[in-house]
Amino acid sequence: MTTYSPGRDLRWLLLRPWVLVARLVEVLWQLGSLAVVLVIQGSSPKPEVQKRLAQKILATLTGLGPCFIKVGQSLSTRPDLVRRDWLEQLTQLQDNLPPFSHAIALATIEQELGGPADQLFEHFPGHPVAAASLGQVYKAQLADGHWVAVKVQRPNLPYLLRRDLVIIRLLAVAAAPVLPLNLGFGLGDIIDEFGRSLFAEIDYRQEADNAERFATLFCHHPEVTVPRVERLLSAERVLTTTWINGTKLQERQVLESRQLDPSALIRTGVIAGLQQLLEFGYFHADPHPGNLFALPGKTGDLGHVAYVDFGMMDSISDSDRLTLTGAVVHLINRDFRALANDFVGLGFLNPKTDLEPIVPALEEVLGGAIGENVGAFNFKAITDRFSELMYAYPFRVPARFALIIRAVVSQEGLALRLDPNFKIVQVAYPYVAKRLLAGDTAEMREKLLEVLFDGDGRLQIERLENLLAVVESEGPSTDLLPVAGAGLRLLLGPGGRSLRQRLLLTLVQDDRLNTDDLRSLASLLGRTFSPRKIAGTMFNRLNPLAAA
């Protein structure tokens, strides 16, 4: 069976004690041996010692198989968590693993597609170009001359995944009480979510559906490329897609040597990730460097990026999307009471939890991480402090957020790899601010009203000023005209009815005419969209020497 069920799989392994005991001893021995070596030699300043340690980590994870390789892949995207002299080895877990037998791959192709590879393809090579945790990829040619990527699954994967997931779950649940994070019973749920995603990943028919859905979502975004699925040459254990000629998003020097702009590529990756989470509600949960390629060309200030490998995908509900959008705004506006309510809405806190002691704790932990500058924020900055908060207060990680967290952390890790000074919120907050100010959907208009007006219906000018300042702060190339145009269309159009009503209500508060807020609003808009500023912005866009 190619589905994951923790209870059924546990019973399956318990009925095979010889398998359970042998594998448990092997896992404990390998991980224990690695831990001892790391404790003894991990602090050594000698480069050759650290290189040997990195090679041992790589060998241990590779030897333990697909589940553990997936863990290593996640670590390979985190230069802020893992020593840089170890990362070079860990990145090999993405697509540079030992291949399995070519004869087995050919037999799988014939079994799945109904014919031998040399008859189905004009040219089929004698060895793969890459081997990853769950399969290996061949670069083949079709009869019409087009080159394709043919991914063939490793043998016996359902058995290996089922066995190791049961053992990982047993060890994790047993260790949960002594972990520094107060995850409680949620740790088992998170592993279950990981297990379900892994089993979904080994059905290549589902991956083909995922790729086509992802391509549809980005069909109007030229900066994002998705390979086309060759349906007649794909099945449960074989997937054929168009070949992507690109450069892996791995090393800044390599990208620059090929005249590719790392900053523009980072920007595309982060904005595409935000679109998946906050607009589409459907996201790529495994954006490590082996699954993202840089392509030539730019669209505005966005580089061109190609996604591959759509096995690990997930969806996010509409309510969670809207709450996450609001949480970003509440975080940057330092509205920690609203942020605490966001945590309740997302399931990180029980609805019956007393928020009074939690609000100041959030302000202490997250407020200090953000500082006065939005750009000072990154996920590593709060992770160290947030662990203390989760231990002291009744936080838990909902299982449905396991892949979301993985996707965001992987995305930030990939960006940090290319630019150690990268701050994800420097891109995320302007993106959210622009969507709010445009009010292009009903949910964004609702959230904009929540941001702009307080509980008494008064206009919060400082919040609007903050939003406009963030959009403007993106740099001299930012054009304020689209923002002004979108805001004007919202205010005058049918979608701005609620906004107009709220603005009018500010005029008649407390049974008297009150124009202070509207005067402040007019003053703010006059400063932000002054003719001089707009003219300067247009000049910068039209004059490449000024932009340089």
**pLDDT score of 381 more than 70:** no
Domain assignment present for residue 86? The answer is no
Are 451 and 395 found together in one domain? no
The whole-number average pLDDT for the span 275-301 is 88
Domain assignment present for residue 69? The answer is no
85-127 pLDDT tens trace: 776 677 777 667 889 999 999 999 999 999 999 999 999 999 9
Domain assignment present for residue 494? The answer is yes
How far is the CA of 543 from the CAs of 131, 333, 379, 476, in angstroms? Answer: 47, 35, 37, 12
Domain assignment present for residue 532? The answer is yes
What is the pTM for the complete model shown? 0.78
- The reported pLDDT for the residue numbered 372 is 47
**pLDDT score of 368 more than 60:** no
- The reported pLDDT for the residue numbered 133 is 83
Q: Show which of 358, 393, 425 is a domain's final residue.
A: 425
Q: What length is written for the chain?
A: 548
Residue type (1 letter), 164: D
- The boundaries of the domain holding residue 417 are 318-425
Residue carrying structure tokens 């990145």: 91
Are 462 and 504 found together in one domain? yes
**Paired strand residues for 247:** 294
Confidence tier at 446 by pLDDT (50, 70, 90): confident
Q: Are 246 and 295 in contact (CB under 8 A)?
A: yes
Are 447 and 472 found together in one domain? yes
Domain assignment present for residue 512? The answer is yes
243-274 pLDDT tens trace: 999 998 877 888 889 999 988 898 898 889 88
Q: Show which of 370, 394, 425 is a domain's final residue.
A: 425
**pLDDT score of 240 more than 70:** yes
> Residue 237: which region, alpha, beta or left (left: phi > 0; alpha: psi -120 to 50)?
alpha
Share of the chain above pLDDT 90, in %: 27
- The reported pLDDT for the residue numbered 373 is 46
Confidence tier at 162 by pLDDT (50, 70, 90): very high
> Any residues with CB less than 8 A from the CB of 173 and at least 6 apart, and which?
187, 188
Are 421 and 330 found together in one domain? yes
**pLDDT score of 380 more than 60:** no
- The reported pLDDT for the residue numbered 476 is 45
User: Distance (Å, rounded) from C-alpha 318 to C-alpha 298?
Assistant: 31
Domain assignment present for residue 121? The answer is no
Are 475 and 514 found together in one domain? yes
Confidence tier at 343 by pLDDT (50, 70, 90): confident
Are 537 and 454 found together in one domain? yes
Residue carrying structure tokens 């090679």: 55
- The reported pLDDT for the residue numbered 374 is 45
Are 446 and 518 found together in one domain? yes
Rounded mean pLDDT of the chain? 80
Are 453 and 495 found together in one domain? yes
| Catalytic center residues | 286
- The reported pLDDT for the residue numbered 185 is 45
463-475 pLDDT tens trace: 777 777 766 665 5
474-486 pLDDT tens trace: 554 445 666 666 6
**pLDDT score of 152 more than 50:** yes
Are 458 and 524 found together in one domain? yes
**pLDDT score of 184 more than 50:** no
Which two structure tokens, joined as six digits, stand for 282?
Answer: 């459907």
Confidence tier at 355 by pLDDT (50, 70, 90): confident
Domain assignment present for residue 367? The answer is yes
Into how many domains does the chain fold?
2
Q: Are strands 147-153 and 135-141 parallel, antiparallel or unpaired?
A: antiparallel
- The reported pLDDT for the residue numbered 153 is 94
Sign of CA pseudo-dihedral 192, 195, 201, 203: negative
Reference 477, options 224, 259, 274, 267; nearest CA is 267
